[in-house]
Amino acid sequence: MRHNNHSSSARMLVLGGLCAGALAANTASAALPFMEHEERGTVESIDPQANKITVVDAHKGYTKTYSWNQDTKFREHTKTLSKSKVIDAADVKPGEEVKVYSKSKTDPTLAHKVIVTKAAHAAETQPAPAQS
């Protein structure tokens, strides 16, 4: 009979260790923020009144529609400059290259940042005509 009590104690110890490990794993994963997701593509359409932007994926060709809220940042980045500037959603046009960043665990289609990438304007990259 004594053997049974020892065996039962060992099982309780193992079970307690498993529960503690599971609790620690759940606590650690709850503390980690949701990973940021980046989507690169071309703007197919944008509706500033409905806060919706549809992007065609640059690599796979599928479309995905994102929404935005008052916390979403819109920026424009020129390929030749290192700094970006703040823009409004209404400044984004179909056909432009964008990167859309989302990180909401509850709504992965909620954009928290949209960056429009533009080529340098011809006037910025070419020298001024010579004066005669």
Domain limits for position 61: 37-121
Domain membership of residue 79 (yes or no) is: yes
> What is the separation of C-alpha 94 from the centre of its chain, rounded to a whole number of angstroms?
20
Domain co-membership, 78 together with 114? yes
17 and 45 share a domain? no
> Between 112 and 14, whose confidence is greater?
112
Residues 61-106: pLDDT tens digits?
899 999 999 999 999 998 776 788 999 999 999 999 999 999 888 8
Structurally, the chain folds into a number of domains equal to 2
Tell me: the pLDDT tens digits for 30-39?
445 557 889 9
| More confident of the two residues 25 and 117 | 117
Which amino acid type is present at position 120?
A
- What is the reported pTM? 0.64
In terms of Cβ atoms closer than 10 Å to its own Cβ (0-12, 13-18, 19+), residue 37 is middle
Q: Is residue 80 included in any domain, yes or no?
A: yes
